[in-house]
Each structure stands twice: as structure tokens, then as C-alpha cells.
Amino acid sequence: MSCSTAGCRFAAALGVLVALTVGAAAAQARENFYLGLGMAQQTISSSDLDGNHIFLLVDFFGNPVGAILLARPEDGSGLSAQIGYGFNENIAIEALFSNTDHAAGMAGLSTNFPTELTSTVLAVRLSVPLDKAEVFARLGRGSYTLKYQDNVVDLNLNPLGNTTLTGSGTAIGVGIELFFDALALELSITQHKPSFDTIDFGDSPTSLPGSIAADVQAVNLIFKWYAGTNK
């Protein structure tokens, strides 16, 4: 049986997390501010970025002087953080942040371009309390930045600069959280759907003639701290 890379990692991590319920505290309403910090693993898929994409740069007279090289980044990992406020045991609002490092390779070139994906999402979280944990779903919208390093090159493929794609999109996720007194451990999987519509390659941001759509599957393992007293 096969499954997606991020999906398999989520299933494996979920098994470990469920095993930890033996030492988990009884679930209690979490009504206050909370902070979280952890790890993110992200898989990027995009038909708009599959294969080699070469955008020529020309001078004032229309002569080619270089190119922007784009490709789909490989899987990457990095940091994930969140801050939120629980209104009651079922509803919370969250700000989610992640930054992961990737590499994007071009067919025919021996080097990969270091790539960085950053997302900031504002989301609503809906939770269902269990005995020692809670399951939840979240829905949000965020801003996304995909930065390529050294992918602006001259005609001899010498690096001239970087490229940054920016855009926005939706985020939908599910997860489980285990409680340990004032601390908690959260495991979630989130599907991000950013659409990049602006490109910046050193001068100023420029609107793309058409957007670049992507699907980002993220697995996050977050250690959390809740302020105040559990009720």
C-alpha cells in the first residue's frame, strides 16, 4: 500500500502520539492564550512548477542578458510556531507561522537552488474534547512567500541574484492534541493552497501575467504552553 510522503509521516507520528496518552492528563477546557513551537515537514506539488521554467531577461534593446530559472522545490523541513486564544473548549483563533528549507533542481544543471517557503496563516480552530486529548479542525487564510536563491543567472549561468514569489491562499487542517497539565503536544496535517501572483527578482515586485498555483501538504509537531489555569 502506498501513501503520500507527508501522509505516511503523519500516520507514523500519530501512532507515537497515541502511545503517549498513557501519561497524558485528563482533558480540560483550555480557555486562555497559548503559545506553540515545533517542527514542520512540507511537501510542495505544483503542475505550474514541474519541469524547467526559464524566463529570459533582456536589456533596453531586447537582447537577452540572463534568465530566471524556476522549478518545483523538493520536500523540506523547518520551524513552526503558533499563538492563539481559546474562547472555550470548542473554539479558538490562531496565528500560525512556518518556515521550511527546500532545494529546487533544474534538469541539465548540476546544482540545486536553495529555496525557502514561509507562511503566515490566521485560522479558526474547532475542537472536540476527549478523555486525555482533543481532536480538532482548522480553517484559515494566509500569505505565502517562496524564495529561490541564486536562480537569476547571466548567459553563462553565473548567479546574479534571487527570486521571491509572493501570494495568498487557504489552509485546511486536522489534528490531535494531548494534554500534560499546562503543557500540550499537538500533531496536525494541513493542506495549504497558495496562489503566487507577484515576482520580485531584485528591482521591485512585478505582477505575474498568470498566477502560479501550488499545493503544500504540511505535517507539524508542536509543543504548546497554555497561560492561566485549566478549567
Q: What is the per-residue pLDDT across 103-162, written as a single tens digit (0 to 9) for each?
A: 998 777 767 889 999 999 999 999 999 988 999 999 999 999 999 998 888 888 888 889
Q: How many helices (H) and strands (E) does the chain have?
A: 1, 11
- Rounded distance between C-alpha atoms, residue 38 and residue 185, angstroms: 9
Residue 231 lies in a domain: no
- Report the sign of the C-alpha dihedral through residues 213, 172, 123, 84, in that order: negative
What is the reported pLDDT for 156? Answer: 86
- Rounded distance between C-alpha atoms, residue 126 and residue 128, angstroms: 7
Q: Grid coordinates in use for 64?
A: 537577452
Mean pLDDT of 7-20: 52
What is the reported pLDDT for 7? Answer: 53
**Number of domains making up the chain:** 1
> Which CATH number is 125's domain given?
2.40.160.20
Nearest to 178 by CA among 9, 19, 34: 19
Question: Does residue 8 register a pLDDT over 80?
Answer: no
What is the reported pLDDT for 3? Answer: 54
Residue 177 lies in a domain: yes
What is the reported pLDDT for 25? Answer: 45
pLDDT tens per residue, range 163-207: 999 999 999 999 999 998 889 999 999 999 999 999 888 666 777
The boundaries of the domain holding residue 121 are 5-226
Question: Does residue 15 register a pLDDT over 80?
Answer: no
- What does the H/E/C string look like for 2-50? CCCHHHHHHHHHHHHHHHHHHHCCCCCCCCCEEEEEEEEEEEEECCCCC
Query: Residue 3 class from Cβ within 10 Å (0-12 exposed, 13-18 middle, 19+ buried)?
Result: exposed
Burial 65-94 (b: 16+ CB within 10 A, else e): ebbbbbbbbeebebebbbebbbeebeebeb
Dihedral angle at the C-alpha atoms of 209, 210, 216, 222, nearest 10 degrees?
Answer: 50
What is the pLDDT of the chain when averaged over all its residues?
Answer: 85
More confident position, 164 or 9: 164
What is the reported pLDDT for 109? Answer: 74
Q: Enter the pTM of the model.
A: 0.83
Question: Does residue 229 register a pLDDT over 70?
Answer: no
- Percent of the chain exceeding pLDDT 70 equals 82
What is the reported pLDDT for 23? Answer: 45
- Rounded distance between C-alpha atoms, residue 192 and residue 90, angstroms: 23
The Cβ-side half-sphere exposure at 64, using a 13 Å CA radius, reads: 12
Q: How confident is the model at residue 216 (pLDDT cuts 50, 70, 90)?
A: very high
Q: Grid coordinates in use for 183?
A: 503543557
